[in-house]
């Protein structure tokens, strides 16, 4: 059994024990109130002093009220602890339900410059590899990427960040095109079914013309797996 699970179970057991102790204290307080009143009646009857009954009863009520306040404080703490445990469980469950992303690595053909891009998502930081191509007019490049570890949802994102031009690109697996598009000066993303162990070939061809002599092409190719 994993130690994290043992730790969580012991934590829950401690909370349940505290809750049972609080309930027992509450019951004891109610019983003590009745016992104190009975004792006051006996003493008042034996001493023939009715005013003693009021004094003892007031003292008993004060003690019971103190016990109640402590029990309410304990219940509030237990409620907060249970809320935190539930919130932590929800966060852990959402983390487990998220898919795992796998960047595909270059294994042959034209080797682009590799850059690592990171973006903050709440308290977490998500990073992805970006492959940078520099294309002249009518130039074509082809890069072979290693296949993923297992089947998953593939995605290829192509961006021309600095210059308006026309670039036709495609992703092929075993000679079959699984994703293709034409990029100009926009951000284009295409999803496809990625197959395990099969090389993915990325091909890009720039059309003649355009505003710049050399066009920068940013490409991200990866696969997301269900956990």
Q: Is 112 left (phi over 0), alpha (psi -120 to 50) or beta?
A: beta
Domain end position, chosen among 76, 97, 118: 97
Residues 111 and 219 in one domain: yes
Q: Are 161 and 192 in contact (CB under 8 A)?
A: no
| pLDDT number for residue 65 | 78
Burial class of residue 158, CB neighbours in 10 A (0-12, 13-18, 19+)? buried
Residues 90 and 144 in one domain: no
CB atoms within 10 A of CB 16: 12
Parent domain of 174: 101-225
Give the total number of structural domains in the chain. 2
Residues 106 and 69 in one domain: no
Domain end position, chosen among 69, 97, 125: 97
CATH code for the domain of 121: 2.60.120.380
Domain end position, chosen among 64, 97, 130: 97
Residues 125 and 148 in one domain: yes
- Each residue's pLDDT expressed in tens, for the chain with a length of 227 residues: 455 555 566 666 666 666 666 666 666 655 555 555 555 555 555 555 666 656 666 776 777 777 778 777 777 777 776 677 666 666 555 554 555 777 888 899 999 998 887 766 555 566 677 899 999 989 999 999 998 888 888 888 898 887 888 999 999 999 899 999 998 877 888 899 888 889 999 999 999 887 788 889 999 888 887 65
Q: Is 209 left (phi over 0), alpha (psi -120 to 50) or beta?
A: left
CA distance 127 to 115: 10
| pLDDT number for residue 94 | 55
Residues 190 and 172 in one domain: yes
Residues 47 and 117 in one domain: no
Residues 81 and 148 in one domain: no
Residues 113 and 134 in one domain: yes
Instruction: List residues bridging with 193 in a β-sheet.
Output: 153
Residues 77 and 31 in one domain: yes
| pLDDT number for residue 71 | 73
């Amino acid at each position: 059994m994993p130690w994290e699970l043992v730790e969580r179970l012991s934590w829950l057991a401690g909370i349940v024990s505290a809750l049972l102790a609080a309930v027992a204290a509450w019951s004891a307080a109610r019983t003590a109130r009745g016992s104190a009143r009975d004792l006051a009646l006996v003493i008042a009857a034996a001493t023939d002093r009715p005013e003693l009954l009021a004094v003892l009863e007031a003292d008993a009520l004060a003690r019971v009220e103190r016990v109640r306040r402590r029990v309410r404080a304990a219940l509030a703490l237990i409620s907060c602890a249970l809320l935190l445990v539930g919130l932590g469980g929800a966060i852990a469950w959402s983390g487990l339900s998220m898919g795992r992303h796998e960047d595909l690595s270059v294994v042959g053909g034209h080797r682009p410059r590799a850059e690592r891009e990171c973006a903050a998502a709440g308290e977490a930081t998500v990073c992805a590899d970006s492959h940078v191509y520099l294309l002249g007019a009518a130039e074509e490049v082809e890069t072979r990427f290693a296949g993923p570890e297992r089947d998953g949802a593939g995605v290829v994102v192509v961006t021309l960040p600095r210059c308006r031009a026309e670039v036709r690109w495609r992703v092929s697996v075993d000679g079959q095109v699984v994703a293709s598009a034409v990029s100009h000066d926009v951000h284009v993303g295409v999803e496809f079914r990625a197959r395990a162990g099969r090389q993915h070939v990325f091909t890009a061809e720039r059309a003649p013309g355009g505003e710049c002599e050399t066009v920068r092409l940013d490409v991200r190719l990866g696969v997301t797996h269900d956990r």
